[in-house]
Amino acid sequence: MNELIERGLTQFRRILYHGQLHVCPICASHVRRFKPMGERKSARCPVCGSFERHRLIWLHCRANTNLFDGRSKRMLHVAAERCLANELKRLPGLEYIRSEYAPGDTTVRLDVTALPFADKCFDVIFCNHVLEHIPDDKRAMAELHRVLKPGGWAIMQVPIKGERTLEDSSIASPAARALQYGQADHVRQYGLDYADRLRETGFTVERNNLAAELPSEDRQRFGLLPDEDLYLCTRTA
């Protein structure tokens, strides 16, 4: 979409949905409501399209990372969410490389199990709600670890349900996958052992529950899920 048209539509939506009940920390819009999705009553920002997980990531990065300090760094954003990409590509000092379905100026098509980048070349990686679609997720995790610099950090979110990851290669049809994993294009349902799978490929992993630590009025204002954890991965060597 032409950037000028996109900015115009964004401003129109800001006016249309303006209110004081909620604030999207990504697009800085004050809106009277977030749009519902299923049982989630405050899921989607009507201005930028962010979901709860995107707003949580943004708040974490603002409070706890070096992403916004203006210093030179290189970032890979796998299957880039538009709501995040629109803001990240404007950050000073950031060489921003993203992959998505439609190629663009700084967009590459890539196979996350065979990344076309040198070892230890990214300071930051975002890879959110991707790995549940990848049959060989361990190889994808290993590749992401390979291209992350020592001292670099990554946010790698997946849907989590239950204690143990469920996967069965014999479940191959879209209908069967939807029944077993909740979505036709998912090949597994991750459990809380997801962090262990990341550690097996070399990452140091911290599970952070920023949303639960915030006052309830802030969770409501930003439209966050109290039980959503962030999986924060670093490479030490």
Residue 45 and residue 63 in one domain: no
Query: Where do runs of H (alpha helix) occur along 100-229?
Result: 137-147, 174-181, 194-200, 210-213, 216-222
Q: What pLDDT is stored for residue 25 in this prediction?
A: 98
Residue 228 and residue 179 in one domain: yes
Average pLDDT of every residue of the chain: 93
**CB count in 10 Å sphere of residue 207:** 12
pLDDT per residue as tens digits for the range 128-184: 999 999 999 999 999 999 999 999 999 999 999 999 999 999 999 999 999 999 999
CA-nearest of 18, 23, 53 to 222 is 23
Q: What pLDDT is stored for residue 107 in this prediction?
A: 57
Q: What is the pTM of this model?
A: 0.92
**Residue 36: partners with Cβ closer than 8 Å, 6 or more residues away:** 42, 43, 44
Residue 93 and residue 119 in one domain: yes
Give the total residue count for the chain: 237
pLDDT per residue as tens digits for the range 86-97: 999 999 999 999
Residue 42 and residue 69 in one domain: no
In the chain, how many domains are there?
Answer: 2
Residue 117 and residue 218 in one domain: yes
Residue 144 and residue 125 in one domain: yes
Domain that holds residue 226: 52-234
d(CA 43, CA 60): 18
